[in-house]
């Protein structure tokens, strides 16, 4: 069994694949702020211990809490809202490892304190650093991959028994096999496919558009279940992926919607039709198969940029997809809300039913569950809705998103509120 954690990091993207208790793969790390992935990993470990007790396995109450182990980090592209938090998360991981007397269980590594970081890029890793240094001018995002290398070198110079191995790679590649990552006690072999960009595609498009045009598209395939992590991929990248892997990019259970539900077809003559064609292909297959789309979006920044866009919502609905947003946006709430205290009381009802509301990217007052009023209009802070979404991929079982029905049940109770218009995840 695998679990996917699509984390609530506000206007950014961070995802975890839980290979087994205490073993994780990270796909992007969010914009920074609170170490959300570390909290999510520790909660997953705590949950695994509770589940072990439930099924009658012996768990010592006095045993030391396991250390979260990140065995692989994959960076889709070098935008701050995807990589800004990776350094902080890695430092937290290594600090916990260093404080533990036990070895981490890094499968396939001769040294249990080596972490591998993969960037979807056709250039030699040294050239990435050279270009990053040259391009790092005011107004451009800091290239975090450069900082990762600096962190690794600083650790080695201090004699710390940890290191970070960096590599660039391009499609087609199956990353779990390449890095010898396995799951125990199962006949089903998980695969994490890097579908885009290929070396030629990256070389052709690097420097000719934005980093979104060369954002990685990754597909997790396990036990008949499929989850797609496309970073901020634009339509040209999707088309190339569909051309090279048309059979694997279909019958999808869950898509992490690229670019927070924002613009991914800026050069299309008919973007609405193009988006509908894309999502209808991705979710083609058995009509009874569960279909979900997760939009990682911030209340405040979503309002600023108009995320999620209506044409994206329409395209997802055309494919009969259940939509889940990490946070409330203008698409759900009325623009003329003038009483933030009333809004706080209404949203408080949602708190106990959110899928994992504890992973809000900002302070607790910015999501339901606290009694104090919001410090102004809802657009001034992040307000958790589905928040972190956890999906379970289990052999011979239906694809499951935890607590979705309870979440919808609570939103139904808010549907008649004069503060709300409609909720995307209800239709």
Asked whether residue 183 is domain-assigned, the answer is: no
Q: Which of 158, 177, 196 is the last residue of a domain?
A: 177
Least confident of 136-150, 210-224, 264-278, 364-378: 364-378
Asked whether residue 153 is domain-assigned, the answer is: yes
Do residue 278 and residue 426 come from a single domain? yes
Do residue 11 and residue 160 come from a single domain? yes
Asked whether residue 190 is domain-assigned, the answer is: no
Do residue 268 and residue 407 come from a single domain? yes
Do residue 7 and residue 131 come from a single domain? yes
- More confident site: 303 or 393: 393
Give the chain's length: 427
Asked whether residue 107 is domain-assigned, the answer is: yes
pLDDT in tens, 129-168: 667 666 654 434 445 655 666 666 666 665 655 567 778 8
- More confident site: 81 or 184: 81
| 347: pLDDT strictly greater than 70 | no
Do residue 276 and residue 407 come from a single domain? yes
Token pair, residue 196, equals: 């885009």
* 103 band by pLDDT with thresholds 50, 70 and 90: very low
Mean of pLDDT values over 354-372: 37
Q: Which of 177, 212, 242 is the last residue of a domain?
A: 177
Do residue 317 and residue 425 come from a single domain? yes
The whole-number pLDDT of residue 415 equals 64
Can you tell me the distance from the alpha carbon of 397 to that of 420, in angstroms, rounded to the nearest whole number?
A: 36
Do residue 258 and residue 354 come from a single domain? yes
| 60: pLDDT strictly greater than 50 | no
Mean of pLDDT values over 182-197: 84
Domain around 360: 250-427
Can you tell me the distance from the alpha carbon of 410 to that of 368, in angstroms, rounded to the nearest whole number?
A: 12
Answer yes or no: are the C-beta atoms of 401 and 324 closer than 8 Å.
Answer: yes
Mean of pLDDT values over 60-69: 58
| 31: pLDDT strictly greater than 70 | yes
Do residue 173 and residue 279 come from a single domain? no
The whole-number pLDDT of residue 197 equals 93
Contacts of 96 (CB under 8 A, 6+ apart): 67, 68
Q: Which of 139, 158, 177 is the last residue of a domain?
A: 177
Do residue 173 and residue 256 come from a single domain? no
Do residue 5 and residue 150 come from a single domain? yes
Q: What are phi and psi of 323, to 5 degrees?
A: -100, 135
The whole-number pLDDT of residue 79 equals 85
Answer yes or no: are the C-beta atoms of 33 and 140 closer than 8 Å.
Answer: no
* 63 band by pLDDT with thresholds 50, 70 and 90: low
Do residue 130 and residue 254 come from a single domain? no
The whole-number pLDDT of residue 243 equals 93
Asked whether residue 243 is domain-assigned, the answer is: no
Asked whether residue 215 is domain-assigned, the answer is: no
Domain count, the chain: 2
Query: Which region, left, alpha or beta, applies to residue 55 given φ > 0 means left and ψ of -120 to 50 means alpha?
Result: alpha
Least confident of 19-23, 76-80, 329-333: 329-333
- How do 322-325 and 389-393 pair as beta strands? unpaired
Can you tell me the distance from the alpha carbon of 307 to that of 203, in angstroms, rounded to the nearest whole number?
A: 30
The whole-number pLDDT of residue 96 equals 54
Asked whether residue 227 is domain-assigned, the answer is: no
Q: What is the arrangement of strands in the sheet containing 69-75, beginning at the earlier edge strand?
A: 163-169, 114-120, 69-75, 23-29, 14-20, 2-6, 389-393, 400-401
Do residue 283 and residue 171 come from a single domain? no
Asked whether residue 331 is domain-assigned, the answer is: yes
pLDDT in tens, 392-405: 999 989 999 987 87
Mean of pLDDT values over 33-59: 64
């Amino acid at each position: 069994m695998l679990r996917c954690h699509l984390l609530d990091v506000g206007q950014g993207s961070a995802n975890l694949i839980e290979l087994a208790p205490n073993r994780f793969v990270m796909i992007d790390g969010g914009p920074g702020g609170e170490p959300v992935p570390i909290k999510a990993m520790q909660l997953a470990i705590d949950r695994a211990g509770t589940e072990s007790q439930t099924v009658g396995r012996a768990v010592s109450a006095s045993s030391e809490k396991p250390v979260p182990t990140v065995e692989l980090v994959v960076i889709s592209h070098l935008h701050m809202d995807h990589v800004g938090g990776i350094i902080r998360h890695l430092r937290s991981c290594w600090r916990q490892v260093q404080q533990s007397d036990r070895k981490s269980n890094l499968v396939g590594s001769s040294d249990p304190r080596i972490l591998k970081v993969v960037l979807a890029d056709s250039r030699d890793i040294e050239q990435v650093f050279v270009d990053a240094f040259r391009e790092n001018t005011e107004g451009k995002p800091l290239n975090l991959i450069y900082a990762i290398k600096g962190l690794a070198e600083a650790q080695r110079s201090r004699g710390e028994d940890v290191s970070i191995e960096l590599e660039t790679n391009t499609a087609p590649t199956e990353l779990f096999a390449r890095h010898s990552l396995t799951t125990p006690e199962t006949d089903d072999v998980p695969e994490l496919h890097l579908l885009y960009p290929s070396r030629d595609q990256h070389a052709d498009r690097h420097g000719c558009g934005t980093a979104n045009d060369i954002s990685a598209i990754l597909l997790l395939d396990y036990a008949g279940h499929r989850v797609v992590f496309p970073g901020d991929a634009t339509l040209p990248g999707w088309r190339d992926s569909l051309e090279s892997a048309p059979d694997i990019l279909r019958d999808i259970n869950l898509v992490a919607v690229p670019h927070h539900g924002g613009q991914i077809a800026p050069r299309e003559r008919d973007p609405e039709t193009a988006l509908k064609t894309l999502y209808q292909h991705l979710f083609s297959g058995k009509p009874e198969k569960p279909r979900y789309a997760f939009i990682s979006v911030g209340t405040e920044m979503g309002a600023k940029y108009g995320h999620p866009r209506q044409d994206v919502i329409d395209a997802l609905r055309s494919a009969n997809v259940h939509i889940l947003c990490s946070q409330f946006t203008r698409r759900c709430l009325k623009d003329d809300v003038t009483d933030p205290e009333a809004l706080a009381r209404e949203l408080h009802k949602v708190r106990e039913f959110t899928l994992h509301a504890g992973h809000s990217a900002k302070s607790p007052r910015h999501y339901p569950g606290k009694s104090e009023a919001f410090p102004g209009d809802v657009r001034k802070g992040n307000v958790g809705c589905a928040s972190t979404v956890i999906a379970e991929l289990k052999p011979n079982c239906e694809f499951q998103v935890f607590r979705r029905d309870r979440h919808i049940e609570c939103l139904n109770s808010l549907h008649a509120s004069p503060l709300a218009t409609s909720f995307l995840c209800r239709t």
